Amino acid sequence: MERHQDDELGPWLALFCAPQLSLQRAHKLLQVFQTPTDILAASHQQLKGCGVSPQALKAIVDYRGHHSGNLIHERISKALAWRAAADDHHILYIGHANYPEALAEIAQPPLLLFVAGNAGLLNKPQLAMVGSRSPSFDGRQLAKQFAAEISRNGLLITSGLAVGIDGASHGGTLAAGFPTIAVMATGIDKIYPKQHRDLALQIRQRGALVTEFPLGQAPKAHNFPQRNRIISGLSLGVLVVEAAIKSGSLITARFALEQNREVFAIPGSIHNPVARGCHRLIRDGAKLVESAEDIREELNLQLPLPLMSETGSANEEVISLDGIQQLVLEKMGFDTVSMDALVERTELVITELSAVLTQLLLLGQVENTECGFVRVFIAQKK
């Protein structure tokens, strides 16, 4: 099986490595010639008649002639060297045993996927989580909590490794002891953003990093929307946690609709500018989500619930709060609140209130931010 797949990989790699040959053009060629092997064997006139660029034509002819210094050969050698460098390096082509079936069904799926980590996870049921790169405190916490709870419901969390909601979703999943999948907008050897190098390493060790872009590809603006179609294509649905009206997350949601995936959105405060994209999605028909169970019910999933994560913990610790702690939490409301406002709302003296807030901070019920205190909300089961 391995040897057969290696034989199949060669022509796919050659097609992928041809210069000035777009994904759209490659798929048109596959419609005409059916296989990469047949494309590479086609005559100069046949390829030219299909709109293949002069640069690609020359490279393919040189490749067939095994000319030294051929660009396709050089790129193939580089890709195969990367694959051979580690046991968890994989290159998947359409039709490969581990190429995700759901992704193969979308319009113009990637010819190849470079995977670092567990390639077998790509065919597991997944839910995409996306959102703002500059989320609110509540949005970041919700992303972590929903990611953990959705993982416990038997779905893999897939996101884009970006700062903000993406990173929080990956982090929340890993913290709960479950694997996660990160789809990159760069080459597999170019982690972006740089501050997520440690996160990417954890994802690779316990899940998978995935990209359709060639080795060495640096981040480019137009690659991110292209990446987003893979995030939605891998998944049964897309959950948007926080997003502005003009947001890449809404692009992912649009791809999801085009791919017949479900779109879910978590509502937020009407005063929160990064909640307006979610509100628009809900007005346009996205499913309003208040808990992980909402997603499970909407997808009508019959998935085995994992009883224990990798950390060995099956249940969240139940925290008991006394009356005055409950009072302070209730008076805090749902938005960030200053100490002065809390004194007025609770009618407690500042020393007593400070002591209660310190207790709540230690219990993980409250966070102290630059703008004031804010509750840490847990996604509740219905």
171 and 74 in one domain? no
347 and 258 in one domain? no
pLDDT of residue 136: 87
pLDDT 10s digit of each residue in the chain, 382 long?
444 456 789 999 999 999 999 999 999 999 999 999 999 989 888 998 898 889 999 888 888 877 666 889 899 999 999 999 999 999 999 999 999 999 999 999 999 999 999 999 999 999 999 999 999 888 888 999 999 999 998 899 999 999 999 999 999 999 999 999 999 999 999 999 999 999 999 999 999 999 999 999 999 999 999 999 999 999 999 999 999 988 889 999 999 999 999 999 999 888 888 899 999 999 999 999 998 889 988 887 655 544 345 544 444 445 678 888 888 888 887 778 889 989 999 889 898 988 988 888 888 788 888 778 888 765 444 4
- The pairing of strands 262-265 and 287-288 is parallel
Question: Element (H or E) spanning 35, and its range?
Answer: none
Q: What are phi and psi of 179, to 5 degrees?
A: -75, 160
pLDDT of residue 316: 45
pLDDT of residue 321: 81
Please state the pTM of the whole predicted model.
Answer: 0.82
CATH number for the domain spanning 10: value is: 1.10.150
How big, in percent rounded to 5, are the helix, strand and coil portions of the chain? 50, 10, 40
Question: How many folded domains does the chain comprise?
Answer: 3
141 and 175 in one domain? yes
Please report where in the chains the tokens 């953990």 appear, as a residue. 148
261 and 171 in one domain? yes
CA distance 267 to 282: 8
Instruction: Write down the number of H helices and E strands in the chain.
Output: 17, 11
The C-alpha angle 203, 118, 108, rounded to 5 degrees, equals 95
User: What are the angstrom distances between the C-alpha of 293 and each of 9, 137, 296, 305?
Assistant: 41, 23, 5, 12
188 and 274 in one domain? yes
290 and 146 in one domain? yes
350 and 207 in one domain? no
Structure tokens at 71: 């660009």
Other CB atoms within 10 Å distance of the CB of residue 41 = 13
In a domain, 100, yes or no: no
pLDDT of residue 305: 47
Query: Which of these three, 284, 299, 314, is where a domain ends?
Result: 299
Query: Which of these three, 266, 299, 332, is where a domain ends?
Result: 299
Domain that holds residue 330: 323-375
CATH number for the domain spanning 339: value is: 1.10.10.10
